[in-house]
Amino acid sequence: MTEGYRARDEPAVVVSGLAKSYGRVRAVDGVSFEVREGEIFGIIGENGSGKTTTVECLQGLRDRDAGDVRVLNLDPGTQRDALRHRIGCQLQESALPERLRVWEALDLFAALSPRSREWRQLVEEWGLAEKRSSAFADLSGGQRQRLFVALALVNDPEVVFLDEMTTGLDPAGRRAAWDLVREVRSRGTTIVLVTHFMDEAEELCDRIAVFKRGRIVAIDTPSALVARFAAHSTVHFSYDGDDLPWLSSCPGAASVRREGARFTVTGDGPLLAHVAAALIAHGIAPLDLRVERATLEQAFLGISELAGSSR
Amino acid sequence: MKGVRKLAWVEVKLFVREPFALVVAFAFPFFMLFVLVGVFGNEVETTDPEAMRVWRGVGPSDFYVSTYVGLVVASAGLLTLPLRLAGYREAGVLRRYRAAGLSVTVVLGAQVLVCAGMAVAGAVGIVTTSTLVYGTALPADWALTVIAAAIGVAAFSSIGLFLGAVLPTARAVQGTGLALFFAMMMLSGSGPPRGVLTDSMRRFSDLLPLTHLNLLLQDAWLGFGWATTDALITVGFLAGSAVLAVRFFRWE
């Protein structure tokens, strides 16, 4: 098979046994995973868990110590140049010359790639049209971030690496960025997304790898991770009267907490239905009765605890 | 090559947008021009053999004019280029460039082109000023002068790239660049003529690249021919620094 060309359905990224140390610190310690073509693959984990080092090795920005890495069937360590024009990189920490203007940056980066997108369109898409002629130094954090993402896409990459893409964006900006990422994927681009925002990972990713101390401790779809590691659901309501000792005997209820008038019941199964039935049976009908679905964030905390305790 | 040209053009625009850097880059050579012409004038000393030796048989201002070109070249190579390179590395610009697929050659090549452009602009500016205001001599041998200047630009660009590659921070580059620049300005024949330096000063001066570039330029400018030894030494600095610059270049 020719280097750089993949058979149908072959993964866009294949990593096996990747390791990288800085001095005596093992930043990445035997990581293996695959990213399918057209997938949005999330990498989450605490600070210093090896996320960025891993994607830097995939992008050919860092030499690995051990393991095998193929991106688009190319080795980023030795076939950096061939790979460079086919991937897009938004780096966690980088900058542009202070007086470089937005359009000049896009024009420059487009010129460096043999195949590039019309950058004017990217300027529109990423909401930079008004800032087209602004210098990099005059951009806000969010505008810089959007410019970096636009630069990562200007060469029309087959795989794009987004490292903390929405850091510095306001809530509306984050939502807009998510929509754009979905659109990028719908054109067939594979996306590797490093993030510490759980809602972002849950919202965007098809599958997620959870990093902890340089290893992958869980890898699955967001819903499977939630089901496995955050099976609890939580029911909240307010009630001003006496304690409700009978609540803990509701089917599925594991614990009942009260802080002032606020009650919190955690447990498994159809908890809301059972709690509601018990409340009604006792003549209590709180207006704010609601259930909180388990989130990826809870799953993440659960995974972290499990992984931590196994050491 | 498209990459180098594009990046070099962007760099030129960036440079022009920072007028302060431009002023700093050319301030010292112009300062020396006004001071030295003011102090020494351009009378050819024919009666005093010692003065004949010191001024190489020409008027002081004619003696100096080629050394201003040397100063402009040294200024671009020691003060501007390495500062830019180290500053880019510190800020993460080089990291960004690398991820975009720029090679070391393109990044360094663009800086050399900008340095050359600056040196040409500065040299034209200072020679024009000197000629129009003080009536100093134009090169007796244009071809040799241009070749000498080109070698000088290449050599000092390489030295600049080397400094930018090995020194850890922009601050370190600034300090080192200025120290080297002033040492060369005072001891390489752009300030006091080499003929009045003490022996130990002259021996130290022999170690400085600007000394040899100045002699190379001066011989060509005044029609004394091609200073082969000085040319070879300058090329030696060029080659050595270029190899070390590429060897020690770091993206981050």
CA distances (Å), origin B161, targets A260, B58, B61: 68, 36, 32
For residue B141 the two structure tokens come to 């041998």
Average pLDDT rounded to a whole number, residues A285-296: 87
Distance from CA of A217 to the nearest CA of B (A): 29
Q: What angle do CA B229, B232, B237 make, to 5 degrees?
A: 125
Residue in B91, B100, B102 closest to A95 by CB: B91
In chain A, what residues touch B250 (CB-CB under 8 Å)? Answer: none
Range in A110-114, B232-236, B247-251 the model is least confident about: A110-114
In chain B, what residues touch A111 (CB-CB under 8 Å)? Answer: 2-3, 6
Considering only CA atoms, give the Rg of chain A.
23
Hey, of B7, B20, B95, which one would you mutate to test binding to chain A, going by the most A CBs within 10 A of its CB?
A: B95
Q: What DSSP state is assigned to residue A35?
A: E
Question: In DSSP terms, which residues pair with B69 in a beta bridge?
Answer: none
Interface contact flag, B18 A104, Cβ < 8 Å: no
Q: What angle do CA B217, B86, B251 make, to 5 degrees?
A: 115
- A3 conformational bin, left if phi > 0, alpha if psi -120 to 50, beta if neither: beta
Count other Cβ atoms within 10 Å, centred on residue A17: 13
Hey, of A22, A63, A101, A109, which one would you mutate to test binding to chain B, going by the most B CBs within 10 A of its CB?
A: A109
Asked if the C-beta of A84 comes within 8 angstroms of chain B's C-beta atoms, the answer is yes
What's residue B101's pLDDT? Answer: 82
pLDDT, tens digit, 9 for 90 and up, residues A2-15: 455 555 578 999 99
Residues 6+ apart with CB under 8 A from A285: A279
For chain B, positions 3-22, list CB contacts with chain A under 8 A.
3, 6-7, 10, 13-14, 17-18
Q: List the single residue in A with minimal CA-CA distance to B12.
A: A100
B87 φ/ψ angles, rounded to the nearest 5 degrees:
-60, -40
A159 pLDDT exceeds 70?
yes
Q: List the single residue in B with minimal CA-CA distance to A110.
A: B100
Give CA A107 to chain center in angstroms: 29
CA distances (Å), origin A97, targets A141, A243, B116: 15, 63, 20
What's residue A72's pLDDT? Answer: 95
Residues 6+ apart with CB under 8 A from A71: A12, A13, A58, A59, A83, A87, A159
Give me the number of domains chain B comprises: 1
pLDDT, tens digit, 9 for 90 and up, residues B2-52: 778 888 899 889 988 887 777 777 888 888 888 988 888 888 878 888 888
DSSP H helical segments within chain A, as ranges?
51-58, 80-84, 102-112, 119-125, 141-153, 171-186, 198-204, 222-229, 271-281, 296-309
CA distances (Å), origin A154, targets A114, A169, A303, B189: 11, 20, 37, 51
Give CA A276 to chain center in angstroms: 35
A231 pLDDT exceeds 70?
no
Q: Looking at domain A232-293, which of 3.30.70.980, 1.20.58.1690, 3.40.50.2300, 3.40.50.10800 is its CATH number?
A: 3.30.70.980
Interface contact flag, A112 B13, Cβ < 8 Å: no
In chain A, what residues touch B96 (CB-CB under 8 Å)? Answer: 91, 94-96, 148, 151
For chain B, positions 35-94, list CB contacts with chain A under 8 A.
88, 91-93
Distance from CA of A38 to the nearest CA of B (A): 22
pLDDT, tens digit, 9 for 90 and up, residues B75-123: 999 999 999 999 999 999 999 998 888 888 888 989 999 889 989 999 9
Q: List the single residue in A with minimal CA-CA distance to B18.
A: A99
Residues 6+ apart with CB under 8 A from B87: B93, B170, B173
What's residue A6's pLDDT? Answer: 55
Q: What angle do CA A256, A233, A287 make, to 5 degrees?
A: 70
B228 pLDDT exceeds 80?
yes
Asked if the C-beta of A137 comes within 8 angstroms of chain B's C-beta atoms, the answer is no
Q: Where are the domains of chain A?
A: 37-59+80-227, 232-293
Asked if the C-beta of B105 comes within 8 angstroms of chain A's C-beta atoms, the answer is no
Asked if the C-beta of B250 comes within 8 angstroms of chain A's C-beta atoms, the answer is no
Range in A25-29, A32-36, A108-112, B178-182 the model is least confident about: A108-112
The average confidence (pLDDT) of chain A is 89
Residue in B3, B13, B14 closest to A111 by CB: B3
What's residue A2's pLDDT? Answer: 45
Count other Cβ atoms within 10 Å, centred on residue A173: 18
Q: How confident is the model at residue A147 (pLDDT cuts 50, 70, 90)?
A: very high
Domain covering A37-59+80-227, topology:
Rossmann fold (3.40.50)
Residues 6+ apart with CB under 8 A from A98: A135, A136, A137
Q: What angle do CA A156, A200, A32 make, to 5 degrees?
A: 70
Asked if the C-beta of A113 comes within 8 angstroms of chain B's C-beta atoms, the answer is yes
Considering only CA atoms, give the Rg of chain B.
18
Q: List the single residue in A with minimal CA-CA distance to B96.
A: A94
Residue in B2, B14, B95 closest to A99 by CB: B14
Asked if the C-beta of A21 comes within 8 angstroms of chain B's C-beta atoms, the answer is no
Distance, in Å, from the CA atom of A195 to the CA atom of A166, rounded to the nearest integer, reads 8
**Residue B123: CA atoms inside 13 Å, Cβ hemisphere, count?**
24
Q: List the single residue in A with minimal CA-CA distance to B251.
A: A61
What's residue A152's pLDDT? Answer: 92
Q: Give the domain extent around B241.
A: 2-248
Residue written as token pair 């979905």: A182
Residue in A61, A84, A97 closest to B14 by CB: A97
Asked if the C-beta of A259 comes within 8 angstroms of chain B's C-beta atoms, the answer is no
In chain A, what residues touch B7 (CB-CB under 8 Å)? Answer: 108
Residue in B3, B18, B98 closest to A99 by CB: B18
Asked if the C-beta of A231 comes within 8 angstroms of chain B's C-beta atoms, the answer is no
ipTM of the complex: 0.82
Q: List the single residue in A with minimal CA-CA distance to B87.
A: A97
For residue B145 the two structure tokens come to 């002068």
Amino acid (1-letter code) at residue B239: A
A247: helix, strand or coil: helix
In chain A, what residues touch B14 (CB-CB under 8 Å)? Answer: 97, 99-100
